[in-house]
Each structure stands twice: as C-alpha cells, then as structure tokens.
C-alpha cells in the first residue's frame, strides 16, 4: 500500500521560473514539471526592475495547471527564489514600487559609501556576508543616499519570496535562509543587524520577525484557491533562498564534501555548524548564509554561467541563435588554455556585449585574444573551473580539512564540459546531480514541514535512492597548473608581467 504525497515547488531563477510537482511515494521521489516561463529584467526610466506582477500571474497559472493535472490532490506549496532583492509594502500591504533588479547600476559606488559609515570589518562582524554591491544592504543604502521618498511611506520590508508567499497566504514572513542573504542580519543573534542598518540610515522599523524554514504559514488565500482550483492547500516556507533549498538535495554520504550550486551564478561552499567570522573569512570575502536545521553555508559567489548566457544572448541579437549544446560543442572543439580571465571581475557583472568584454580583458592582460565563439566560451568555462580551485583552496583553509568529493547541483550540471573541467582543475572527484536540486530540496522541506519526513538525513536518503548521479574523475595535467598560476597573477593585478 502506498502513501503518496504531492508537493508543488514554485522555483524562480534569474533566467526562468517553473512549477514542479514532487510526488513522494514510499520514500521515492519523482518530479513532474507542470509550467515553465521566462524571467528577466525590465528596463524602465529609473533603472532595471523585475516584473513581479507577471511572475505572480505565472505562479497562479502554474498552481492551476498543477492542481488540475493532479486532480486537486496537492498537499502543499513551497516557493523559492534568488536572494538579495526585495520589495517595500505600505501600511495596507500594498506594493510601493516594482522591485529593482540586483544588476541595476544604482549600487555602483555604494560599497565605498558604506565603508565611510562603518568599517568593512565591523560590517562583516555584524553580518558575516561577503561584500558584493548587489547585496540588499547596498541597494537600501542607495535609496538612503538618494533620499528615496519610499522610506517615508513604507511600512514593511520583504524579500522577493516573502512577497510572493504573502500574496499566496496573506502572511508576512521573513524566512531565515533568504534573510541571511541581505547582509542585514546578525548571524549570531539570528536577528536583524540594527547597528549596521542605523549606520546606513536605513529605517529599522521596516524589518519584522524572522521565520524559520520548513514550517507551514497557512493555506492558499480563498480567492487564489478559487481562481486556481487548489482549495485548502497548505503553504510551507521551505528554504526560500534557492541555494538553501538546493543544498538540502545534495546526496552526500559524509560531512567532508564541498558543493557547487551551478547556474547563472555559481556558489561554492561547505555545510558547517557555526558561522565563520574570522579575519581570514573577511580577507577572502566568504559569506555565511543560513541553512536548514541549524546549519550554515560557508560559501562564495562566483560569476558562473552568466558569461555564457550573455554571450548567447548577444549572438542571438545578431541573428545567431545557438543552443547551449551547440555552444558547448564549439567550446569542446576549440583550442585549450588560450587565455584566462577572472570571471568575478566587476566588468563582467552588468548586461552588455560579453564577447567584447572577454576579448578586451584578455587584451588588457597581454594574453592571446579569443576570436571564435568556441574559443570565447572555452576561455570562460576553463576560467570558471580555475576559479573553483581558487575558492576550494581557501574554503579548505577556513575549515581546516580536505573536502572531497565536490557535489555539483542545479541546472549547470547539464554542462558536462564544465563538470569535467571542474574535476580536472581541482583534482577532486565531482559528483554531478541532481539537476533539479532546488526544486527537490524545496519539495523535501515541504515534506518535513508537513511531518511526512523527519529530518535532513531522511531527505538526503530520499535523494540518493531516487536520482542517479554522474561521476567525473579528475584528469589534471600540467596545463591546468600553469593556467592556475596565470589566473593568480591576473587576480593579483600583475598583468604587465604576463607573457
């Protein structure tokens, strides 16, 4: 006799969103994608925004399609998104402005402005988060510097998943894992870092109580239930930060593993029991984001497949709409180790002509300039893998132990060339999969919230028996070591010495 449960994961990424129903049947999980839709920035006169109203419309469509497909037998709904972005609500719960996109230029110069108000060391001690101009803290600081009138009427701060959970359930939450991405939360106190907010002249009254991951917050609002045919469905906050959900789905069998959540961004880290707030973590610009069940994610953001996505988008605008498979094939056939780039250089952050930026970077650092599309992508993929090695070495230094294997999860696992490059560059076994780690982790946290699973270890056992990983063994050569030495020189700004 089976005990089948259906959980709807709403998974929003920076490039696309989807609804996926996870069916748990006798501890075996299967996935059914029910709706997929595009996502991306919208340029308005005041800057780059997310189209959250369209996203909300697509979410409702996904709920309706899922409910119909599963004969209205949905146990719960959980939602996850990217981090750092937010919305402000008025006293009636109304949305005050379309949320900005984290790549909007208004945060240019805000790191320097923040350090005038509080030292880098003090900010890190109070938040434990790496310094990136996209962080919520600097978006809010930009509003403060520009004297945004929204602060005069705003009543409530919500991150993007909290906004959408509010639309679904009517409950305003500040889910823990996503709140930690803001650089506005104190990891020791698990409460908002008011000294930092006050130093930046950001109103502290906007920030409400923190909500734990993996709890139910109510049922789908009646008018949404009527519209979608999903009456009485429970709303569970999983790990609302997509990486937080994804790490739940790592099929690890030991504690000494590293993980990479591979997608538009790559995020590389380890699961630890306490935040790491020492001087080396500050020096290396690592971050401490909240995980589930008392864990922390000691990690670092790396500019991942964004470079490939932007190249693809630029070529499509000029009439060459290549698939990702075609682009990867061109890279596989291209000459290896033509040049290296620091993929985290600020020049690669914003939208634009990425092929030109890659060529300019190579020229400015006195390297061979890639010409063909395959050469361009190969340089980017090799450089991503080399940056993984750089981050891994520092991660192991912070933790004090060797991490092996490396688990790669998320949509980027489909790029098998990058997976092999990662093994070759780091000299570690790479375990790739599951591809849909974020949705899987979202579903499993719903199952825990609904008391259908008991623990994180139970959840990971479900992943191990339900999904077959791909294994990549390292084939490191002296060329990888030489390229890594070159990358370190590039990162240390000694371009004039490069041959």
- Enzyme catalytic residues: 242
Q: Which two tokens stand for residue 429?
A: 């076994």
User: Can you give the pLDDT at residue 186?
Assistant: 98
The domain segmentation of the chain, as residue ranges, is 5-242, 252-433+469-499
Cβ neighbours of residue 299 closer than 8 Å, sequence gap 6 or more? 243, 267, 268, 269, 270, 286, 287, 289, 395
Cβ 330 vs Cβ 373: under 8 Å:
yes
The residue whose two tokens read 């002509």 is: 353
Tell me if 5-242 shares its fold with 252-433+469-499: yes
Q: For the domain covering 5-242, report its CATH number.
A: 3.30.420.40
Longest dimension (CA), the chain: 70
Query: Is there a contact between 324 and 216 (Cβ–Cβ < 8 Å)?
Result: no
- Quote the pLDDT of residue 2: 56
Cα three-residue angle 206-103-346, rounded to 5 degrees = 120
Residue 260: Cβ-neighbour burial (10 angstroms; 0-12, 13-18, 19+): buried
- Nearest partner of 295 among 266, 252, 236, judged by Cα: 252
How many CA atoms, within 13 angstroms, populate the side-chain half-sphere of residue 324?
Answer: 16
Which residues of the chain fall below pLDDT 50?
A: 1, 494-499
At 404 the pLDDT is: 96
496: region left, alpha or beta (phi > 0 left; psi from -120 to 50 alpha): alpha
CATH topology for 252-433+469-499 is Nucleotidyltransferase; domain 5 (3.30.420)
Q: How far apart are CA 293 and CA 290, in angstroms?
A: 9
Give the span between the Cα atoms of 453 and 445, in whole angstroms.
8
Phi, psi for residue 303 in degrees, rounded to 5: -70, 100
Residue 113, classified by CB atoms within 10 Å of its CB into exposed (0-12), middle (13-18) or buried (19+), is: middle
Per-residue pLDDT at 59: 98
């Amino acid at each position: 006799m089976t005990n089948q449960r259906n959980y709807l994961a709403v998974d929003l990424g920076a490039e696309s969103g989807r609804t996926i129903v996870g069916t748990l049947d006798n501890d075996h999980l299967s996935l059914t994608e029910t709706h997929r839709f595009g996502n991306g920035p919208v340029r308005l006169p005041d800057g780059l925004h997310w189209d959250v109203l369209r996203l909300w419309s697509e979410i409702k469509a996904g709920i309706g399609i899922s409910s119909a497909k599963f004969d209205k037998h949905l146990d719960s709904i959980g939602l996850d998104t990217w981090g750092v972005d937010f919305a402000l609500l008025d006293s009636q719960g109304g949305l005050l402005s379309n949320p900005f996109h984290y790549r909007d230029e208004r945060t240019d110069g805000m790191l320097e402005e923040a350090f005038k108000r509080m030292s880098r060391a003090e900010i890190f001690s109070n938040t434990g988060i790496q310094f990136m101009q996209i962080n919520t803290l600097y978006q809010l600081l930009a509003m403060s510097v520009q004297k945004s009138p929204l602060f005069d009427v705003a009543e409530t701060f919500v991150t993007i998943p909290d906004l959408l959970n509010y639309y679904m359930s009517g409950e305003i939450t500040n889910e823990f894992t996503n709140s930690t991405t803001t650089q506005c939360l104190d990891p020791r106190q698990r409460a908002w870092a008011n000294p930092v907010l006050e130093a930046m002249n950001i109103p502290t009254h906007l920030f409400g109580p923190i909500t734990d991951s993996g709890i139910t917050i109510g049922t789908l609002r009646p008018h949404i239930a009527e519209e979608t045919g999903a009456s009485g469905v429970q709303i569970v906050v999983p790990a609302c930060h997509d990486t937080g959900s994804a790490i739940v789905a790592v099929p690890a069998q030991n504690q000494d593993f590293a993980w990479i959540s591979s997608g538009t961004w790559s995020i590389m880290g380890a699961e630890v029991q306490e935040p790491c707030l020492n001087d080396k973590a500050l020096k290396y610009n690592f971050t401490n984001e909240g995980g589930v069940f008392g864990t922390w994610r000691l990690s670092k953001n790396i500019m991942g497949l964004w470079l490939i996505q932007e190249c693809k988008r630029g070529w499509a605008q000029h009439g060459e709409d290549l698939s990702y498979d075609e682009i990867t094939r061109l890279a596989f056939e291209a000459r290896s180790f033509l040049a290296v780039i620091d993929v985290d250089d600020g020049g690669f952050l914003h939208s634009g002509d990425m092929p030109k930026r890659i060529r300019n970077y190579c020229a400015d650092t006195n390297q061979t300039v890639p010409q063909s599309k395959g050469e361009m992508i190969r340089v980017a993929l090799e450089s991503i893998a080399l940056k993984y090695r750089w981050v891994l070495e520092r991660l192991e230094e912070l933790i004090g132990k060797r991490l092996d294997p490396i688990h790669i999860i998320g949509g980027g696992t489909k790029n098998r060339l990058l997976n092999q490059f990662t093994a070759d560059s780091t000299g570690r076994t790479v375990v790739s999969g599951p591809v849909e780690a974020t949705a899987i982790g979202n579903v499993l946290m719903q199952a825990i919230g609904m008391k259908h699973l008991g623990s994180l270890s139970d959840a990971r056992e479900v992943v191990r028996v339900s999904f077959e990983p791909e294994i990549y063994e390292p084939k490191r050569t002296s060329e990888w070591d030489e390229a890594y030495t070159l990358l370190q020189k590039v990162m240390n700004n000694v371009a004039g010495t490069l041959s």
